Structure 1
Amino acid sequence: MSKRVVIKEIEPKAYEVMFGFEKYLSKTNLTPTVKELIKIRVSQINGCAYCIDLHTKDARKMGETEQRIYALNAWRETPFFSETERAVLALAEEVTFINKGVSDETYQHAARVLDEQTLAQAIMAIIAINAWNRIGISTHMQPALD
């Protein structure tokens, strides 16, 4: 891959804004586990290797199981995820595939299991990782070899 601009170095104020978004998200009602599941699943959909690497490592540090991480791309087919996690994962997928829109069914399910504030916060968390994925993919950010 060809070398591309490193936005963090060239436009550090843009990163400050993104990190401000992350600071807001750190104080939401979303559990740390749900936030990491959102980040991993959206990054899988978008194909952002850097973010998948980063957030699977973060999830493991928080105690997330290998089994759930490995099954995340097939979450509908497993019994490993709670109703709240399933509602948020469905919402994450539809917000990420926004050209298809967010179905009433998915939205209403999320609205049944989350209060309005947490639902709004989940949408914002999904938007944030989509933005990070676009930064990572467009600039060819690569995960470090361990």
Structure 2
Amino acid sequence: MEQRINFFQKGRNAMQSLSAIAAHLGKSDIQKNILHLIYYRVSQINGCAYCLDMHSKDLLATGETAQRLLVLDAWREAPFYSDKERAALAWAEALTQLKGGLVAEEIYTDVKNHFSEEEIIDLTLAITTINTYNRFNIAFGAAVGTYKVGQFALN
């Protein structure tokens, strides 16, 4: 797909606001591998090839296994995700696939058992932000495959 608009260049002001969010999340107490797993899973749901390429490269560079990435779409059935990762993934899916109304109580209770209130706020911010990036990439196109590890580091 050819890039329709270089939104990082033409929408510099808008993208700077997203960069400020990314900088905040880079300082969050949430483990970076959990953030990248969330970014990868949400990008799977939304079908964002650029973000899948980006986050798979970043995850693999930090020691994530190919097996966990390849099976992430079926994380509920796979035995190699921690309870904390499962809570974050369920929260990410619930916020990405909105069904109207509040997130199910059992999903909220599970995320609350593994994350502090501040971390849940940051996790929610991370999920809504990757959804935004996915939509920009899908709307305007992105040069899939060009991402270099750490190019947009979480700090």
| TM-score for the superposition, normalised by structure 2 | 0.89
Q: Determine if contact 2:3/2:142 at 8 Å carries over to the other structure.
A: no
Matched, 1:12 2:12: yes
Show the 5 A alignment for 1:102-141.
Answer: 102-141=103-142
Shift in CA distance, 93/15, structure 1 to aligned 2, threshold 3 Å: same
Give runs of ≥4 in structure 1 deviating > 2 Å: none
Equivalent position of 2:87 in the other structure:
87
Rounded Cα–Cα distance in structure 2 between residues aligned with 1:142 and 1:6: 10
Identity of aligned residues (%): 38
Unaligned runs of 5+ in 1: none
Distance in 1 between the 2:143 and 2:120 partners?
32
Worse overlay, 30-39 or 10-19: 10-19
User: Which residue in 2 is equivalent to 1:70?
Assistant: 70
Structure 2: gaps spanning 5 or more residues:
148-155
Tell me the SS of whatever aligns to 1:77: coil
Secondary structure at 2:138 match in 1? helix
Q: For the residues of structure 1 that align with 2:142 and 2:136, how far apart are their CA atoms? A: 8
Q: SS at the partner of 2:71?
A: helix
**Conservation of the 8 A alpha-carbon contact between 1:49 and 1:142:** no
Q: 1: distance between equivalents of 2:31 and 2:146?
A: 29
Computed over aligned residues only, the root mean square deviation of the Cα atoms, in angstroms, reads 1.5
Return the structure number with greater helix share.
1
Q: Which has the higher contact order (CA 8 A, sep 6+)?
A: 2
* Paired positions, count: 146
Report the TM-score, using the length of structure 1 for normalisation: 0.94
Q: CA separation in 1, counterparts of 2:47 and 2:137?
A: 10
CA distance in 1, matches of 2:14, 2:37: 25
Give distance in 1, aligned partners of 2:28 and 2:131: 18
